[in-house]
Structure 1
Amino acid sequence: MDSFSFCTSKISIIIIFLLSFHQSESQFIQSTHLLDLMIRDYTIRNFKLNLNTGITQKIYLPSNFSGIDIETVKLRCGSLRRYGATIGGFHISSGVTVEPCSERVMLVRQNLGSNWSSIYSTGYNLTGYNYQLVSPVLGLLAYNANPDGVATNPYEVNVVGTDQNPILIDFLSNKSSGNPNLDPKSTKTNSSVLCACFTSNGNKTTFSEQVSPYVCKGTRQGHYALVTTLEPRKEDNGGGGGGGGMVTSSTEVSGGGGGKLSRWKVAIGSVIGSGIAAILLGMLVVAMLVKVKKKAMREEMERRAYEEEALQVSMVGHVRAPTASGTRTLPIIADDRYKNTHLNHYP
């Protein structure tokens, strides 16, 4: 187990060394667990061993982790149980349990800021819960430590409290604030703002009410943030980009052009368009039928006019009948000799 932890630590250090040559972009790291390991290794490498137990130390990360604020402190496990501790907005009550811990524990407080908090928004699918971040993500992690320094094979230690002895997270403290939407002068809890707890052992998120304005309560180490209900986007032609997907207002601003039509508008438009097309098609069919009928009537009239011109029509009683003009020639005997000869044949 020790050799495995040692190898994991070495691999993390190598990854950090490679990433130090890149620019500061949150897209390089998409795993929240990997980010915790890198922060842990940087903290261990830069921890000042000559500081006394209980003295808070600030850890400066490389430029590719720009926006992350780290503080650490080394404490005795017994002192942490009896007296609790305060570090960068986290107030650990007395009576918590620390396990497994033989003698000392190293607490690491993270403030991911606006550049890196979006990793938790996407990794834990906050939009699937219909929520958005309104504060930076604050993290509190604990690791084992040797009496003479930090352990060479660090592993995470569980700091567990209860409802009576909780861990309070103050988002308005000088160390953890940084969001203009959090009003330090507010004296009542905003009901639309909830506390979100991101478990470190899985992609599970729990939501709870604030215990006081912008103060959340937890029962163990982990990552916490303030969230509010996700609201529809509004168009803004002036669109400016926020940092790392961090939402800094109750209305998310879109920097693009026009939005998509809703489904019901598309349906109504389709019905109206189909109706107009059907009316135009019906009018076309009627016009064609009228044209054909007029053509047939015109041909019938022409036929009747021709027949009436060829044969004169006259009334015979109450009936119209065609009549012809008297143009037939009556028979005439050619001469008297033929007449006499013809008459002699008959007695």
Structure 2
Amino acid sequence: MGSIPFIFMIIFLFHLQRSKSQTIESTHLLDLMIRDYTIRNFNIHFKTGTIQKIHLPSNFSSIDIATARFRCGSLRRHGATIGEFHLGPGLTVQPCVERVMLVRQNLGFNWSSYLYLTGYNLTGYNFQLVSPVLGLLAYNSNPDGVAMNPYEINVMGTEQNPILIKFLSSKASRDPKPNTKQNSSLLCACFTSNGNITFREQVSAYVCLGTTQGHYALVVRAQESGGGAVVTPPSSPAVNEGGGGRLSRWKVAVGCVIGSIIGAFLLGLLVVAMVVKGKKKAMREEMERRAYEEEALQVSMVGHVRANPNASRTRTVPRFDNTRYTNK
């Protein structure tokens, strides 16, 4: 299983340079990579409802991940809080498996800009991101551990019992405090898996309302972005944080080259294996043919009689008795 995340990273870096539709596909690949790393590093000894931090590889170190497991019935009745996401009671969980694993993502400004600003064509809508993209996804989980075959669970709220996304927290006292008055120019953007975006007003200052799991961010119109406060959730790493936070073009190029070399090498091994197998099959058929020809009995027809050409060409010479008989 250790090679699966590496393959995901190569495929993801390759898709990152492609068209809009394939960039949206890259967001799905990123979700799968985060899911696999979460499952690999999940500590099953943590109590139900306890939040765990997941550390990604250095190339994705600017992405902040937290996860927790909940009983499906308890999640529906009481809701839950994980990071900036507050799930109220009365949720719908489909299918309602015994354990549900919630994975909260904070993609940071760099990955948010690379994937969502360009991939979802926010500039075409004349919007700009003013917060990192926050994601919440749910997967099935076994009672005694994590699922070997994870699949996505649908967690949905309603307008009366919504999912609230709070982009600010009182714990961020060390960060510069932006204006907490509701900014009417800010809108909540919800990014769907099919590449669409839905916009709606904030329910309060820097608080968005959602009715389903997915990815959310605060946006502002481009002409109104000048002088606007940039919202930085407390758990998001700094934009210029070291350790691979910014994905430079040469790293992408190196990743593509490495992926191409590995692909060509594997393709070459496949071709060599097919050629060797074909030669062995041809040699085996030739040996079988020769053995059959050497062992088969060669016969020929003389009139209506089958004759063996390998029979001896000599016959016993008749012998005549020279004894003379006399008449008595």
| Aligned residue in 2 for 1:226 | 218
Write the deviation string for residues 4-23 of structure 1: whole angstroms up to 9, x where unpaired.
Answer: xxxxx888434147589x9x
Write the deviation string for residues 117-139 of structure 1: whole angstroms up to 9, x where unpaired.
Answer: 11111111101111000001000
Q: State which structure, 1 or 2, has the greater radius of gyration over its C-alpha atoms.
A: 1
Residues 1:196 and 2:189 are matched in the alignment: yes
Write the deviation string for residues 63-118 of structure 1: whole angstroms up to 9, x where unpaired.
Answer: 01021000000000000001000000100000001001221100000000112111
Question: Which amino acid is 2:195 matched to?
Answer: N
Write the deviation string for residues 127-178 of structure 1: whole angstroms up to 9, x where unpaired.
Answer: 1111000001000000000111110110110001000000000000268999
| Selected match of 1:34 from 29, 33, 44 | 29
Instruction: Give the Cα–Cα distance (whole angstroms) in 2 for the partners of residues 59 and 173 of structure 1.
Output: 21
| Aligned residue in 2 for 1:217 | 209
Taking structure 1 as reference, are residues 11 and 207 closer, same or farther at Cα in structure 2, changes over 3 Å only? farther
SS at match of 1:78: helix
Taking structure 1 as reference, are residues 17 and 218 closer, same or farther at Cα in structure 2, changes over 3 Å only? closer
Runs (4+) of structure 1 moved beyond 2 Å?
A: 9-14, 16-20, 26-30, 173-180, 231-234
Task: Verify the 8 A CA contact 1:89 1:175 in the aligned structure 2.
Answer: no
| Selected match of 1:51 from 11, 30, 46 | 46
Task: Verify the 8 A CA contact 1:19 1:64 in the aligned structure 2.
Answer: no
Task: Verify the 8 A CA contact 1:89 1:176 in the aligned structure 2.
Answer: no
Residues 1:107 and 2:71 are matched in the alignment: no
Instruction: Give the Cα–Cα distance (whole angstroms) in 2 for the partners of residues 178 and 136 of structure 1.
Output: 19
| Aligned residue in 2 for 1:272 | none
Offset, 1:243: 5.3
Question: Which amino acid is 2:110 matched to?
Answer: N
Instruction: Give the Cα–Cα distance (whole angstroms) in 1 for the partners of residues 85 and 201 of structure 2.
Output: 17
Instruction: Give the Cα–Cα distance (whole angstroms) in 1 for the partners of residues 165 and 223 of structure 2.
Output: 26
Residues 1:65 and 2:57 are matched in the alignment: no
Identity %: 66
What's the C-alpha RMSD, in Å, of the aligned pairs?
3.1
Q: Which moved more, 1:93-102 or 1:209-218?
A: 93-102
Instruction: Give the Cα–Cα distance (whole angstroms) in 2 for the partners of residues 117 and 96 of structure 1.
Output: 28
Instruction: Give the Cα–Cα distance (whole angstroms) in 2 for the partners of residues 86 and 219 of structure 1.
Output: 15
Instruction: Give the Cα–Cα distance (whole angstroms) in 2 for the partners of residues 125 and 175 of structure 1.
Output: 33
Residues 1:76 and 2:71 are matched in the alignment: yes
Instruction: Give the Cα–Cα distance (whole angstroms) in 2 for the partners of residues 197 and 149 of structure 1.
Output: 32
Task: Verify the 8 A CA contact 1:75 1:106 in the aligned structure 2.
Answer: yes
Task: Verify the 8 A CA contact 2:108 2:132 in the aligned structure 1.
Answer: yes
Question: Which amino acid is 2:185 matched to?
Answer: S
Task: Verify the 8 A CA contact 1:135 1:179 in the aligned structure 2.
Answer: no
Normalising by structure 2, report the TM-score: 0.61
Gaps of 5+ in 1: 1-8, 235-241, 245-347
Task: Verify the 8 A CA contact 2:185 2:224 in the aligned structure 1.
Answer: no
Question: Which amino acid is 2:184 matched to?
Answer: S
Question: Which amino acid is 1:140 matched to?
Answer: L
Residues 1:206 and 2:202 are matched in the alignment: no
Question: Which amino acid is 2:183 matched to?
Answer: N
Taking structure 1 as reference, are residues 178 and 60 closer, same or farther at Cα in structure 2, changes over 3 Å only? farther
SS at match of 1:37: helix
Count of residues in Structure 1 that have an aligned counterpart in Structure 2: 221
Write the deviation string for residues 289-344 of structure 1: whole angstroms up to 9, x where unpaired.
Answer: xxxxxxxxxxxxxxxxxxxxxxxxxxxxxxxxxxxxxxxxxxxxxxxxxxxxxxxx
Taking structure 1 as reference, are residues 81 and 143 closer, same or farther at Cα in structure 2, changes over 3 Å only? same
| Aligned residue in 1 for 2:153 | 157
Taking structure 1 as reference, are residues 176 and 17 closer, same or farther at Cα in structure 2, changes over 3 Å only? farther
**For 1:1-347, what aligned pairs fall within 5 Å after superposition?**
12-16=4-8, 30=23, 31-118=26-113, 119-173=115-169, 183=178, 185-186=179-180, 188-200=181-193, 202-231=194-223
Task: Verify the 8 A CA contact 1:131 1:228 in the aligned structure 2.
Answer: yes
Instruction: Give the Cα–Cα distance (whole angstroms) in 1 for the partners of residues 173 and 62 of structure 2.
Output: 13
Question: Which amino acid is 2:107 matched to?
Answer: L
Gaps of 5+ in 2: 227-237, 241-328
Which protein, 1 or 2, shows the higher relative CO under an 8 Å CA cutoff with sep ≥ 6? 2
